[in-house]
Amino acid sequence: MEYTKFMADRVKTMKGSAIREMFKRMADPEIISLAGGNPASELFPGDELSKIAGKILMTNPTLALQYGTTDGYPKMKDCARKRAEKVNSVGENDEILIMTGANQGIDLTAKAVLNKGDKVIVESPSFIGSLNAFRTYEAELVGVTVEADGMNMDELEETLKNTDGVKMIYTIPTFQNPTGCTMSLEKRKRMLEIASKYDVLILEDNPYGDLRFSGEDVPTIKSLDTEDRVVYAGSFSKILSPGMRLGYIVAPAPLAEKIEMLKQVNDVHTPMITQLMCVEFMKKYDIDKYIAKNRELYGKKCAAMVSAMEKYFPQGKVKWVVPEGGIFLWCECPTIEDITPIVDKCLEKKVAIVPGSNFATDIYAPSNMFRLNYSSATIENIEEGVRRLGEVLTEML
Amino acid sequence: MEYTKFMADRVKTMKGSAIREMFKRMADPEIISLAGGNPASELFPGDELSKIAGKILMTNPTLALQYGTTDGYPKMKDCARKRAEKVNSVGENDEILIMTGANQGIDLTAKAVLNKGDKVIVESPSFIGSLNAFRTYEAELVGVTVEADGMNMDELEETLKNTDGVKMIYTIPTFQNPTGCTMSLEKRKRMLEIASKYDVLILEDNPYGDLRFSGEDVPTIKSLDTEDRVVYAGSFSKILSPGMRLGYIVAPAPLAEKIEMLKQVNDVHTPMITQLMCVEFMKKYDIDKYIAKNRELYGKKCAAMVSAMEKYFPQGKVKWVVPEGGIFLWCECPTIEDITPIVDKCLEKKVAIVPGSNFATDIYAPSNMFRLNYSSATIENIEEGVRRLGEVLTEML
C-alpha cells in the first residue's frame, strides 16, 4: 500500500533527530559518546528510589496504579512549585501542570499557541527537540543569533520589526543547548521589553538552570516578568532522572487551561508511580544536596574536557566558550565550511559528536560547528574521546 | 494580558472532557461513581509490582533512570508484540511502538495523518478522548450509528460515497466505549472491504478486548486485514494498570516511522520504570491468569448492575443491551429528549453517571442516553448506586 497520501503535511518532510538516530548506532561499546544529552548516571539515587518505589506500591497500590488527574498529582504539583519558586518563577496568575517530561510541555504549549504559518523566534542554534515540535504544527522558525551572553537583542528587535505573524519567542537562556551560553541579566530585561513592545509570548525552557558550577546565578526571565507574558518549562530530568520523564509547565491560567486539555487527549496524565517517587524523594531527602553533588561532578568533567581540548585540539583551529554550568560545550571550526566529514571520521575513530546543522533552523545548510557533552561520559572517557577527536581535527583542519 | 489572540484556532472552542471535569467534583466521598472508566483497583498486583520495582531500581538504576529510546524498551516491545500476536494483530510489515498509554498512540496517529479539514469517520457515539484528539488537529468528525452488533455498515458505505476528504475510520469494535457493543465478524469483514473500496485507513482501538466474560471472541479487524490498512492500538491500562500509562501502536512501517518522530518531540520516550515493571511482571507472572481474575470480577459486577437495573429502573422506560465484556453499559430513555436534568439530579442524590452528549460528534445536541461503568465500584456500591439512579429515573421519566 502507498501511505504518502495518508500522511499529514506536517510529517511529509519531517526528519527525526539525528542525535537520537545516532543513539541507535551506538550499540558499539567501543564508541565513546560525547554526543548525547544524558546526565551522569553514576549519581542516580537508585537505592533511595528503590526503597521509595517498593514502599509506595506496597502501601498504596491504588494511588500508584489507578488513573490520576491530568494536571498532575497534587503533591507533585507542590514539588514542581517549590522548584519554580526557588527561582521566583511562579506568578499569582499562574497554574502549574505536571508533564511527562518538559518536552511534552513545550510540545503542548506550541500546540496551544501555533497555527499553521505562525512564526516562532528561536535561538540560532537551538534544541532540536523543541524546533521539531514547533515544525510539527507547521510553524515557521526564525533564527536569531546566540552570542556568548545570549541572544543578540538588536537582531531580535530588528527581526520582530520586520516579521509579521510572530506569536512566540522560544529561549533556553541558561546554559543553552547546544551552545552552553547564558543570557546576561541586561539581555533578559531587554527581551521582556521587546516582547512587550511587539506583544509576543516568551517560552522559557530551563532544564539546566540548577547546574551552575562557576560564576553567579542570573534570574530567570519568568522571575522578571511583570506582564504574565512568559510560559516557563521546568524539568526533573537533569536534577533527578531523565528516564522518569518528569517536567512541568508554569503558565498563566488561560493558557494553562488549554494546555491541560491538550494533555488530556495526549497521555491523559503523567504516570502516577514516577510522580509519587519524586514526591517521596523530595520529602525524605534534600534534593538540593543531590543537585550539588551533580554540579560538582559536572564542573570537574567540564574542566577535564576543556583541559583535554587544550591539549589535543590543533592550536587556533577550534573556537569555544567555556560554560559556567549545564552539560554542553559548543565548538566552531572557522577554517572550514562543513563539519560533516569530520563527524563521520570521528565515528570511524569511535567517538561520537553532534554536527551543528542539527540545531539550525535550516538543517540542510552546512555548519562548521559541533556540540560536545561532558555530563555523560566518565572523566577517563572524556579525555580519551577528546584525544580521538583531536586526532581527527588535527588531520582534517 | 489578553491571551485569546495567542491561542491556536484548534483550542479556541475546545471543551475538556466533562467526565474528567466530573472527577474533580467527586472529592465528595458519599458520591457513588458509575461515571468513570477506571478498572477495578481491588485486584491491582501491588505486592508483586512493589517487589519488582524495588529490585529493578536496586540492581539496574542506570537502565531504569537514564533516557531510553523513543520506540520503546526492546523487551517491552516484545511484551506488546506478545499481546498483539495473541489476537493475530501484527503483520510482517508492521512496527510496534510503545506509548505512554494507548491514548498517546491515537493522538499521534491522528497527528501523523490528519490535515486541517480532513474527515474522520467515527462511531456515533464514541470515546471522547479520541474524538477530542482528532478535533485538536482540526479534523471534521463524521458519525456513523453504532448498533448492537457494531457500526451500521450501509450507513458507513453511504457516508463514504457522499463525503470527500475522509482519511480514516476510527473504531472500538470490541466492548465499545460507551455502548459496550461488539462488532460482528461479518461487519468487520465488510468494514475492511469498504475501507479498501474507498481507500481509507482504519484505526482500531482495542483497550477492552481481553475483558470478555460471556459469548465468543471475535477476531480483531487488524487480524483480518490483508492490505496493511489497519493501525492497531493496544493498552495495558485495563489488563495491568492505567496509572502506569502503558500502551502500544502496531502500524505499517512507513506510518510507524512518522508516529515515532512525533513521539520523539512529544515525550521523547515512555518512562523506563513503568516499562521495566511491565516486562518483569509478564516474565514472572502469568498475565493471562491475572486478566482472567479481572474478567470474572467484571462478569459478576456487570450481572449485579443489570440485576439492580431490572429491579430499580422504571419498567419499560429505559433500554439497554447487556454487554459480553468490557466495562460499560449504555442506556437510552426513549421517552425524553435530554438526559441532563436527570444527570444533575443524580449528582444531588450522590450518584454520578455520564450523559450521552459527551460521546457525540456534536456535543451540544441533546441526548437521551447515559453511560454506566461497572468495573470501578464495589458490588455493594453498584447496587446502591443503581438504586439511587432508579429513584431519580422513576421520578423524572
Distance CA A267, CA A104 (A): 10
Q: Which of A115, A243, A273 sits opposite B65 (nearest CB)?
A: A243
CATH topology of domain A4-44+289-396: Aspartate Aminotransferase, domain 1 (3.90.1150)
Residue B1 confidence (pLDDT):
87
The single-letter DSSP state of residue B325 is B
Name which of B18, B17, B36, B24 is nearest B352 in CA terms. B36
All residues at 6 or more sequence positions from B325 whose CB lies less than 8 Å from its CB, including other chains: B174, B175, B182, B208, B211, B212, B213, B214, B215, B295, B298
Order of strands across the sheet with A328-332? Answer: A319-320, A328-332, A369-373, A354-355
Name which of A242, A218, A191, A251 is nearest A324 in CA terms. A218
Peptide bond into B178 cis (omega under 30): yes
Strands A230-235 and A247-252, bridge-based pairing: antiparallel
Q: What residues of chain B lie within 8 A of the CB of A27, using their CB?
A: none
Q: Which residues pair with B168 in a beta bridge?
A: B120, B201
Instruction: Give yes or no for residue A28 having a pLDDT over 90.
Output: no
Mean pLDDT of the B153-172 span: 98
Interhelix angle B253-266/B102-113, rounded to 10 degrees, is 110
Peptide bond into A323 cis (omega under 30): no
Query: pLDDT tens-digit profile of B113-124?
Result: 999 999 999 999
Instruction: Give yes or no for residue B227 having a pLDDT over 80.
Output: yes
All residues at 6 or more sequence positions from A292 whose CB lies less than 8 Å from its CB, including other chains: none
Tell which of B98, B107, B266 to mutate to test the A interface (max A CBs under 10 Å): B266
Name which of A151, A108, A91 is nearest A126 in CA terms. A151
Share of chain A above pLDDT 70, in %: 97
Task: Tell how far CA B182 is from the center of its chain.
Answer: 13
Per-residue CA distances from A260 to A70, A291, B358 (Å): 7, 29, 18
Please answer whether residues B174 and B151 qualify as being in contact, where contact means their C-beta atoms are separated by less than 8 angstroms: no
Residue A21 confidence (pLDDT):
64
Q: What residues of chain B lie within 8 A of the CB of A111, using their CB?
A: 8, 10-11, 136
Instruction: Give yes or no for residue B18 having a pLDDT over 80.
Output: no
Distance CA B235, CA A222 (A): 39
Neighbours of B292 (CB within 10 A): 13
The nearest CA of chain A is from the CA of B60 a distance in Å of: 8
Query: pLDDT tens-digit profile of A112-145?
Result: 999 999 999 999 999 999 999 999 999 999 999 9
Q: Which of A36, A245, A266 sits opposite B107 (nearest CB)?
A: A266
Q: Which of A46, A64, A258 sits opposite B7 (nearest CB)?
A: A258
| Chain A residue at shortest CA distance from B12 | A258
Instruction: Give yes or no for residue B364 having a pLDDT over 80.
Output: yes
Query: pLDDT tens-digit profile of B176-187?
Result: 999 999 999 999
Residue B272 confidence (pLDDT):
98
| Chain A residue at shortest CA distance from B201 | A6
| Chain A residue at shortest CA distance from B21 | A69
The single-letter DSSP state of residue A325 is B
The angle formed by the CA atoms of residues B100, B102 and B103, to the nearest 5 degrees, is 90
- Give B14's pLDDT tier (boundaries 50, 70, 90): confident
For chain A, the distance separating the N- and C-terminal CA atoms, rounded to the nearest angstrom, is 48
The nearest CA of chain A is from the CA of B243 a distance in Å of: 4
Please answer whether residues B174 and B238 qualify as being in contact, where contact means their C-beta atoms are separated by less than 8 angstroms: no
Element (H, E) at A282: helix A272-284
Phi, psi of B122 (to 5 degrees): -130, 155
Asked if B107 lies within 8 A of A265 by C-beta distance, the reply is yes
Q: Which of B53, B113, B116 sits opposite A53 (nearest CB)?
A: B53
Asked if A50 lies within 8 A of B44 by C-beta distance, the reply is no
Q: Which of A57, A167, A260 sits opposite B50 (nearest CB)?
A: A57
Name which of B272, B265, B134, B131 is nearest A105 in CA terms. B265
Asked if A44 lies within 8 A of B38 by C-beta distance, the reply is no
Neighbours of B9 (CB within 10 A): 12
Q: What residues of chain B lie within 8 A of the CB of A66, using their CB?
A: 38-39, 41, 44, 241-243
Residue B335 confidence (pLDDT):
97
Q: Which of A6, A66, A129 sits opposite B41 (nearest CB)?
A: A66
Tell which of B25, B52, B245, B246 to mutate to test the A interface (max A CBs under 10 Å): B245
Name which of A186, A168, A160 is nearest A122 in CA terms. A168
| Chain B residue at shortest CA distance from A9 | B115
Instruction: Give yes or no for residue A22 having a pLDDT over 80.
Output: no
Asked if B67 lies within 8 A of A133 by C-beta distance, the reply is no
Per-residue CA distances from A38 to A243, A377, B141 (Å): 10, 9, 42
Query: pLDDT tens-digit profile of A236-264?
Result: 999 999 999 999 999 999 999 999 999 99
Asked if B62 lies within 8 A of A69 by C-beta distance, the reply is no
Residue B15 confidence (pLDDT):
73
Q: Which residues pair with A250 in a beta bridge?
A: A96, A232
ipTM of the complex: 0.96
Question: Where are the strands (E) in chain B, listed by range?
Answer: 32-33, 94-99, 119-124, 140-147, 150-151, 166-171, 201-205, 230-235, 247-252, 319-320, 328-332, 351-352, 354-355, 369-373
Tell which of A267, A275, A327, A376 to mutate to test the B interface (max B CBs under 10 Å): A267
The nearest CA of chain B is from the CA of A69 a distance in Å of: 8
- Give B248's pLDDT tier (boundaries 50, 70, 90): very high
Q: What residues of chain B lie within 8 A of the CB of A262, using their CB?
A: 11, 136
Question: Which of A11-25, A267-281, B314-328, B330-344 shows the lowest mean pLDDT across its residues?
Answer: A11-25
Query: pLDDT tens-digit profile of B123-149?
Result: 999 999 999 999 999 999 999 999 999
Instruction: Give yes or no for residue A348 having a pLDDT over 90.
Output: yes
Mean pLDDT of the B41-59 span: 97
Mean pLDDT of the B158-174 span: 98
Mean pLDDT, chain A, integer: 96
Is A123 strand, coil or helix?
strand
Neighbours of A134 (CB within 10 A): 28
Instruction: Give yes or no for residue A18 having a pLDDT over 80.
Output: no
Which is more confidently placed, B23 or A279?
Answer: A279
C-alpha cell at B341: 436534568
C-alpha cell at A175: 546554559
Question: Which of A105-114, B24-33, B87-96 shows the lowest mean pLDDT across its residues?
Answer: B24-33
Phi, psi of A6 (to 5 degrees): -90, -5
Helices then strands, counting H and E runs in chain B, come out as 15, 14
Mean pLDDT of the B235-259 span: 97
Query: A225-228 contacts: CB < 8 A, separation 24 or more?
Result: A225/A91, A225/A192, A226/A192, A227/A192, A227/A196, A227/B1, A228/A91, A228/A93, A228/A94, A228/A252, A228/B1
Q: What residues of chain B lie within 8 A of the CB of A15, using their CB?
A: 261
Q: Which of B3, B44, B227 sits opposite A61 (nearest CB)?
A: B44
Phi, psi of A120 (to 5 degrees): -125, 130
Asked if B65 lies within 8 A of A46 by C-beta distance, the reply is yes
CATH topology of domain A67-284: Aspartate Aminotransferase; domain 2 (3.40.640)
C-alpha cell at B93: 510489515
Query: pLDDT tens-digit profile of A286-318?
Result: 999 999 999 999 999 999 999 999 999 999 999
C-alpha cell at A62: 491504588
Mean pLDDT, chain B, integer: 96
Please answer whether residues A203 and A168 qualify as being in contact, where contact means their C-beta atoms are separated by less than 8 angstroms: yes
Break chain A into its structural domains and give their ranges: 4-44+289-396, 67-284
Instruction: Give yes or no for residue B353 having a pLDDT over 80.
Output: yes
Instruction: Give yes or no for residue B42 having a pLDDT over 90.
Output: yes
Asked if B53 lies within 8 A of A273 by C-beta distance, the reply is yes
Name which of B139, B131, B176, B109 is nearest B17 in CA terms. B131
Is B220 strand, coil or helix?
coil
- Give B221's pLDDT tier (boundaries 50, 70, 90): very high
Residue with cell string 560564576: A215
Phi, psi of B257 (to 5 degrees): -60, -40
Distance CA A281, CA A268 (A): 24
Asked if B49 lies within 8 A of A66 by C-beta distance, the reply is no
Strands A328-332 and A369-373, bridge-based pairing: antiparallel
C-alpha cell at A149: 551572553
- Give B29's pLDDT tier (boundaries 50, 70, 90): confident
Q: What residues of chain A lie within 8 A of the CB of B244, using their CB?
A: 65, 271-273
Share of chain B above pLDDT 90, in %: 94
Give the architecture (CATH level 2) of B60-284.
3-Layer(aba) Sandwich (3.40)
Residues in chain A: 397
CB pairs under 8 A between A and B: 281
The nearest CA of chain A is from the CA of B127 a distance in Å of: 11
Query: pLDDT tens-digit profile of A33-60?
Result: 999 899 999 999 999 999 999 999 999 9
Q: Which of B167, B242, B267 sits opposite A101 (nearest CB)?
A: B267
Please answer whether residues A251 and A103 qualify as being in contact, where contact means their C-beta atoms are separated by less than 8 angstroms: no
Give residue A50's identity as a one-letter amino acid code.
S
Query: pLDDT tens-digit profile of A173-225?
Result: 999 999 999 999 999 999 999 999 999 999 999 999 999 999 999 999 999 99
Order of strands across the sheet with B369-373? Answer: B319-320, B328-332, B369-373, B354-355
Give residue A143's identity as a one-letter amino acid code.
G
Is A143 strand, coil or helix?
strand
